[in-house]
């Protein structure tokens, strides 16, 4: 995701800006830019792709100055190109700024500003801020910023400078993180503490609705009514790797905890509540072919395969399109039977998995329409699929996929809505799913509060060696995902089963030493699941149940219950998988495993 840095002091800003951006780049980005003021003259360089491209452009440029801004951009509004890369400026080239977040009402603001004669040079939401500040600017930057922000709806971490009010940086925050580092005769601003460690450990974290004005000698923090705020200077005690983990002991836990935001990012700008529709820019060019689609084949590996299995249930129930899911490694050696109304949807977090790419290429060879669902912008899947949808989950560092998985489920719901509304899905059903999707990030936040309870449960079960994971319908793939998570992270033996299949074999294993994790939300298959749970209890198997809030009865049956909020059945997997991720994480930690880099596994498997 985007990263911001800013510098004001006595030294040359450029080396700090580059180093700061490099340290923020682990979040993922697709273009970058820096700007320094030298004797009040702006020197700006932008580049697409890796930071190295920006550094190459810097060679021989003599980009020196005591005041500067830097940004790594992860495209949301407008493709990754130099025009859209930050910093952005106003018409007079007086204001320069970098921004993290999304300006939700940018279209209205942009139209209004255009009518007033402002000329825009990018497709970004950010650029409206520069023009809005220009509109209110007389001779004082912070006053203009405060006036402008009153018209802005959305989230921002902002760093702004002005040539007509020089020797100052103005910083503003709403929902996007931003902090100020207090150095030796210098102030540095960043969206991530990792960027400033090495220069200083003394920081002030801005709160929402606060504005900071930094000069080389001093700083002042106020609210938007310009009341001065007393702030605590904190000391960062982490080292660099810890800082990149955001204070969490492992990337895996950080990424589990990031899911409310990663899901929000997957949904952002894509829901049209009033019509029960979704907007998926990446499908626009193929929407007529999608209307003719009569069959979907999903291809994926590992965790992405389990997401695809959920997609299969979704597609058949809500879009009315027959679907099937193949392990990519199997599909490539099958003799697939396609006709021109079949589409192939590949799902891959990395977009580089060799087996998944082979499915994509085979389908293309047969002239079949291919869609790619991937988290990595510009990856092979993104480049080679005919059309696609990005997850926008941000970089996933831990080998075991967590936030990418839930964002895949979100994207599959969006795809189902898109295809369903092209067919028989009513506006009422569309609206119901869209409305409930919008509530999911908050419900995920609620599930994450069960973390300490899950840690305790993990302690109770850490001595067991075998686990069964059970679920039905939408939660059958979640049972499979829960089991793979435990295998990957704790090296324990775990198997996922369709709950109804237990009695056809696996139940023979159940005894007091063989616990089951039963995903049993209050949905259309609840009663059936309940009977299966009774069967396990009759064999004295310990049971951890993942159940819907309000189901008190389940406590009489299961040994431990983890509750998830009520939601539509189609969306339960997004909530029910989270306790399973946390359980695997805590089991791995308790067993002393390297949870971020489990033995024998790789994050991106580019070999067959
Ligand atoms: C590897 C990883 C898994 C992942 C799978 C598919 O095996 O260890 O966690 O689910 O690849 O990766 P992809 O990037 O294609 O989603």
**Residues listed for the chain:** 608
In this structure, the residue with its CA closest to atom 15 of ligand 1 is: 348
Residue 506: count other Cβ atoms within 10 Å of its Cβ: 16
Which tens digits make up the pLDDT trace of 426-462?
999 999 999 999 999 999 999 999 999 999 999 999 9
Cα separation, 356 vs 377, whole angstroms: 16
Evaluated on CA atoms 508, 512, 518, 520, the torsion sign reads: positive
Q: What is the pLDDT of residues 412-421, one digit of tens each?
A: 999 999 999 9
Amino acid 334: pLDDT: 86
CA of 324 to the centre of ligand 1 (A): 20
Residue 1: which pLDDT band, with cuts at 50, 70 and 90?
A: low
Which residue has the least CA distance to atom 3 on ligand 1? 302
* Kind plus residue range of the DSSP H or E element containing 189: strand 186-190
For residue 520, how far is its CA from the centre of ligand 1 (angstroms)?
27
CA-to-CA distance for 311 and 324, rounded, in angstroms? 9
Beta carbons within 8 Å of 220's beta carbon, 6+ residues apart: 212, 213, 228
For atom 9 of ligand 1, the residue with the nearest CA is 400
Please name the residue whose Cα sits nearest to atom 5 of ligand 1.
Answer: 302
Closest by CA position to 532, among listed 566, 557, 567, 568? 557
Which atom of ligand 1 sits closest to the CA of residue 356? 15
Give the C-alpha separation, 188 to 200, whole Å.
9
Task: Please state the atom number of ligand 1 nearest to the C-alpha of residue 304.
Answer: 16
**Tell me: the pLDDT tens digits for 504-541?**
999 999 999 999 999 999 999 999 999 999 999 999 99
593 as an active site residue: the answer is no
Tell me the pairing of strands 210-214 and 169-174: antiparallel
* Nearest-angstrom CA–CA distance, 310 and 475: 8
Q: For residue 383, which of 372, 394, 392 has the smallest C-alpha distance?
A: 372
**Which atom, in ligand 1's list, is nearest to the CA of 374?**
16
Centre of ligand 1 from the C-alpha of residue 472, in Å: 24
**Please, what is the end-to-end C-alpha distance for the chain in angstroms?**
30
- Residue among 252, 348, 349, 412 to mutate when testing ligand 1 (max atoms within 8 A of CB): 349
Single out the catalytic residue among 83, 143, 231, 603. Answer: 603
Tens of pLDDT along 117-148?
999 999 999 999 999 999 999 999 999 999 99
Q: Looking at residue 243, what is its pLDDT?
A: 72
Any residues with Cβ below 6 Å from ligand 1, and which?
Answer: 301-304, 348-350, 353, 356, 399-401, 601, 604-605
What is the whole-number distance in angstroms between the Cα of residue 485 and the centre of ligand 1? 12
Which atom in ligand 1 lies closest to the alpha carbon of residue 300? 15
Asked if residue 222 lies in contact with residue 36, where contact means CB atoms within 8 angstroms, the answer is: no
Give the pLDDT confidence of 180-213 residue by residue, as tens digits: 999 988 999 999 888 898 889 999 999 999 999 9
**Out of 58-72, 238-252, 403-417, least confident range:** 238-252
- Atom 2 in ligand 1: residue holding the nearest Cα: 603
Ligand 1, residue 484: give the atom nearest the CA: 9
Q: Cα(241) to centroid of ligand 1, in Å?
A: 23
Report the separation in Å between the CA atom of 303 and the middle of ligand 1, taken as the mean of its atom positions.
6
Cβ atoms of 565 and 575 within 8 Å: the answer is: yes
pLDDT of residue 602: 80
Say whether pLDDT at 155 is over 80: yes
pLDDT exceeds 70 at position 554: yes
Name the active-site residue from 2, 44, 301, 593.
Answer: 2
339-357 tens-digit pLDDT: 899 999 999 999 989 899 9
Give the strand order in the sheet containing 31-38.
Answer: 41-48, 31-38, 67-73, 3-9, 186-190, 179-183, 202-205, 234-235
Mean pLDDT of 94-99: 97
The Å distance, Cα 296 to ligand 1 centre, comes to: 21
Between the CA of 604 and the centroid of ligand 1 the distance, in Å, is: 6
Q: Determine the pLDDT at residue 608.
A: 62
Residue with tokens 């994509």: 360
pLDDT-based confidence at 78, cuts 50/70/90?
confident
Cis peptide bond prior to 598, omega within 30° of 0: no
Task: Say which residue, 520 or 74, is predicted with more confidence.
Answer: 520
User: Any idea which of 76-90, 205-219, 267-281, 411-425 has the lowest mean pLDDT?
Assistant: 76-90
Average pLDDT over residues 312-329: 96
Q: How far is the CA of 153 from the centre of ligand 1 (A)?
A: 37
* Averaged confidence pLDDT in the chain: 93
Q: How far is CA 224 from the centre of its chain?
A: 30
Q: Which of 598, 605, 606 to mutate to test the pocket of ligand 1 (most atoms within 8 A of CB)?
A: 605
> Whose CA is closest to atom 4 on ligand 1?
302
Mutational test site, ligand 1, from 301, 375, 598, max ligand atoms within 8 Å of CB: 301
Ligand 1 atom with minimal separation from the 301 CA: 6
56 touches 99 (CB < 8 A) = no
- Which of 326, 397, 603, 607 should be mutated for ligand 1, with most atoms under 8 A from CB? 603
Residue nearest to atom 7 of ligand 1 (CA): 302
27 pLDDT more than 70: no
Distance 570 CA to ligand 1 centre (A): 24
- The model's pTM is 0.76
2 tagged catalytic: yes
């Amino acid at each position: 995701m985007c990263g911001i840095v800013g510098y004001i002091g006595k030294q040359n800003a450029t080396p700090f800006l580059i180093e700061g951006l490099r340290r923020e780049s682990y979040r993922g980005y697709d273009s970058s830019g820096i700007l320094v003021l030298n004797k009040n003259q702006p020197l700006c360089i932008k580049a697409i792709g890796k930071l190295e491209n920006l550094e190459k452009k810097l060679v021989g440029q003599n980009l020196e100055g005591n005041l500067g801004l830097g940004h790594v951009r992860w495209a949301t509004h407008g493709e990754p190109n130099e025009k859209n890369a930050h910093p952005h400026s106003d018409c007079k080239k007086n204001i320069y700024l970098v921004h993290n977040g999304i300006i939700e009402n940018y279209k209205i603001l942009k139209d209004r500003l255009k009518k007033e004669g402002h000329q825009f040079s990018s497709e970004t939401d950010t650029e409206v801020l520069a023009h809005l500040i220009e509109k209110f600017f007389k001779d004082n930057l912070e006053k203009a910023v405060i006036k402008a922000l009153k018209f802005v709806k959305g989230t921002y971490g902002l760093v702004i400078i002005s040539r007509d009010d020089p020797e100052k940086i103005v910083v503003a925050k709403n929902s996007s993180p931003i902090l100020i580092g207090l150095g030796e005769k210098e102030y540095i601003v960043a969206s991530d503490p990792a960027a400033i460690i090495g220069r200083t450990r003394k920081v002030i974290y801005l709160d929402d609705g606060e504005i900071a004005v930094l000069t080389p000698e001093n700083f002042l923090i106020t609210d938007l009514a310009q009341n001065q705020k007393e702030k605590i200077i904190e000391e960062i005690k982490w080292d660099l790797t810890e800082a990149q983990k955001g204070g969490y002991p492992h990337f895996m836990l950080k990424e589990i905890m990031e899911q409310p935001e990663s899901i929000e990012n997957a949904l952002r700008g894509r829901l049209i509540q009033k019509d029960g529709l979704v907007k998926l820019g990446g499908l626009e060019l193929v929407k007529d072919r999608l209307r003719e689609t009569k069959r979907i084949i999903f291809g994926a590996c590992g965790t992405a395969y389990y997401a695809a299995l959920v997609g299969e249930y979704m597609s058949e129930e809500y879009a009315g399109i027959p679907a099937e899911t193949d392990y990519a490694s199997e599909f490539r050696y099958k003799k697939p039977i396609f006709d021109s109304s079949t589409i192939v949807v590949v799902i891959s977090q990395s977009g580089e998995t060799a087996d998944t790419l082979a499915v994509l290429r085979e389908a293309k060879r047969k002239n079949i329409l291919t869609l790619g669902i991937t988290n990595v912008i510009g990856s092979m899947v993104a480049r080679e699929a005919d059309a696609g949808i990005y997850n926008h989950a941000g970089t996933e560092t831990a080998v075991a996929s967590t936030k990418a998985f839930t964002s895949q489920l979100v994207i599959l719901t969006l795809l189902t809505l898109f295809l369903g509304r092209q067919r028989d899905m009513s506006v009422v059903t569309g609206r119901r799913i869209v409305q409930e999707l919008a509530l999911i990030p908050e419900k995920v936040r609620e599930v994450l509060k069960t973390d300490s309870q899950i840690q305790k449960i993990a302690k109770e079960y850490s001595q067991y060696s075998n686990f069964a994971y059970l679920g039905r319908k939408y939660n059958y793939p979640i049972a499979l995902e829960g089991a793979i998570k435990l295998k990957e992270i704790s090296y324990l033996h775990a198997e996922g089963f369709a709950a109804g299949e237990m009695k056809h074999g696996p139940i023979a294993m159940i005894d007091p030493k063989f616990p089951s994790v039963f995903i049993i939300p209050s949905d259309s298959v609840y009663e059936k699941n309940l009977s299966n749970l009774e069967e396990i209890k009759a064999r004295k198997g310990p049971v951890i149940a993942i159940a819907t809030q309000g189901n008190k009865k389940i406590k009489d049956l299961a040994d431990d219950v983890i509750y998830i909020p009520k939601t539509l059945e189609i969306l339960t997997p997004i909530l029910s998988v989270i306790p399973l991720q946390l359980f695997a994480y805590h089991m791995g930690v308790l067993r002393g495993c390297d949870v971020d880099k489990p033995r024998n596994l790789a994050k991106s498997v580019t070999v067959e």
